[in-house]
């Protein structure tokens, strides 16, 4: 994989990250840095570009946009809410793409 990917956080993701205690935030933030080099880390969720990474009881859910060389961090969830979040994201893939493209236009 040539070149670095940029990593962006959704509003929901930022809000959830701040609710985690520091001991949980540190490995998540390290993984965010890792995604710049290895954007397809974690487990695919039905599509190559739709992935999750487990941290203890939490799951970080993100989308990879190869054409933009970006990773969009969508949410952090627990096992109980995981399927609901996955279904919601799958049914709104175009919304997330548009949101990311908005962010990129403003840079």
CA distances in angstroms from 53 to 84, 106, 107, listed in the order given = 16, 28, 27
CB 37 within 8 A of CB 65: no
3-state helix, strand, coil in the chain (%, to 5): 50, 30, 20
The answer to whether residue 35 is domain-embedded is: yes
- Per the DSSP assignment, residues forming a β-bridge with 92 are none
Residue 68 per-residue DSSP state: G
Domain extent at residue 36 = 6-106
Query: Digits of tens for pLDDT over the chain (107 positions)?
Result: 457 999 999 999 999 999 999 999 999 999 999 999 999 999 999 999 999 999 888 999 999 999 999 999 999 999 899 999 999 999 999 999 999 999 999 99
The answer to whether residue 1 is domain-embedded is: no
Task: Give the separation between CA 47 and CA 105, rounded to whole angstroms.
Answer: 26
The answer to whether residue 27 is domain-embedded is: yes
Q: What is the pLDDT of residue 1?
A: 46
Q: What is the pLDDT of residue 57?
A: 87
Q: What is the pLDDT of residue 6?
A: 97
The answer to whether residue 52 is domain-embedded is: yes
Write the CATH number for 43.
3.30.2310.20
Domain count, the chain: 1
């Amino acid at each position: 994989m040539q070149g670095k990917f940029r990593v962006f956080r959704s509003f929901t993701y930022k809000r959830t990250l701040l609710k985690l205690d520091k001991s949980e935030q540190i490995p998540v933030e390290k993984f965010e840095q890792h995604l710049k080099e290895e954007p397809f880390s974690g487990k695919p969720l039905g599509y190559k570009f739709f992935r999750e990474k487990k941290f203890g009881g939490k799951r970080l859910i993100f989308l990879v946009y190869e054409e933009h060389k970006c990773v969009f961090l969508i949410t952090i969830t627990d096992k109980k809410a995981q399927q609901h979040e996955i279904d919601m994201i799958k049914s709104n893939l175009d919304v997330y793409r548009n949101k990311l493209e908005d962010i990129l236009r403003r840079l």
